[in-house]
């Protein structure tokens, strides 16, 4: 009986492994506020691998995602201010924890707009050595060249990860606890 169920499931969908494309289309932005002005840090170098499900016989119809692992070296987050970068890296404890990591636990798929698919995901996000489960909405679309673009935005509190919001100029300037992570990642079939 188990063999029959397994064989039946394979006729409904096909799986493919994807990794981040080397194109310049992938980027991440971490933004927040301070007592003086808003700030943001960008990264375009990170690694990720995902296994996407497609309707059997149709590599343009995304039906799900089975796994996703993501890793961002903290030192790849950069702003246009060197002092901001150094203070942020120190606050994120890069000496002990080099990467921000994410591992997908589960995802529910539903149609969105303009051929997009909405993935309501749950996963473990690790920042500065602290892991917390987060729920995130991710919008995916299969492009004409068979790459998959995934994008989304997530609000986080630094203190949830035992990160003390950095201060500058002997405490005259302080950053807010809340930050926003925006991402646009392009995956290519391996």
Judge whether 5 lies within some domain. no
Instruction: Name the stretches of the chain with pLDDT < 70.
Output: 1-13, 22-23, 35-36, 167-173
Judge whether 172 lies within some domain. yes
Judge whether 7 lies within some domain. no
At 42 the pLDDT is 94
pTM of the model: 0.85
Report the number of distinct structural domains present in the chain.
Answer: 1
Taking alpha carbons only, the member of 152, 190, 189, 153 closest to residue 60 is 189
Judge whether 181 lies within some domain. yes
Name the residue range of residue 131's domain.
13-189
Residue with tokens 């007592």: 35
1, 8 Cβ separation under 8 angstroms: no
Judge whether 68 lies within some domain. yes
Contacts for 30 with CB less than 8 Å, ≥ 6 apart: 40, 41, 42, 43, 77, 179, 180, 181
Q: Give 94-132 pLDDT, tens digit per residue.
A: 999 999 999 999 999 987 777 889 999 999 999 999 999
Judge whether 1 lies within some domain. no
- HSE toward the beta carbon, residue 149, CA cutoff 13 A: 15
Judge whether 3 lies within some domain. no
Judge whether 6 lies within some domain. no
| CATH code for position 35 | 2.40.128.110
């Amino acid at each position: 009986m188990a063999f029959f169920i397994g064989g039946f499931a394979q006729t409904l969908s096909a799986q493919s492994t994807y990794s981040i494309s080397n194109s310049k289309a992938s980027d991440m932005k971490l933004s927040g506020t301070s007592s003086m002005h808003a700030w943001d840090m960008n990264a375009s170098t990170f690694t990720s691998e995902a296994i996407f499900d497609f309707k059997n016989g149709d590599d343009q119809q995304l039906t799900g995602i089975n796994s996703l692992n993501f890793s961002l070296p903290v030192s790849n987050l950069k702003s246009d201010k060197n002092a901001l970068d150094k203070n942020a890296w120190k606050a994120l404890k890069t000496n002990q924890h080099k990467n921000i990591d994410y591992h997908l636990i589960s995802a529910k798929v539903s149609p969105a707009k303009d051929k997009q698919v909405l993935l309501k995901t749950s996963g473990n996000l690790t920042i500065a050595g602290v892991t917390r489960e987060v729920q995130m909405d991710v919008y995916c679309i299969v492009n004409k060249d068979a790459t998959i673009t995934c994008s989304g935005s997530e609000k986080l509190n630094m203190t949830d990860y035992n990160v003390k919001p950095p201060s500058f100029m002997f405490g005259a300037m302080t950053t807010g606890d809340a930050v926003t992570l925006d991402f646009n990642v392009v995956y290519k079939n391996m």
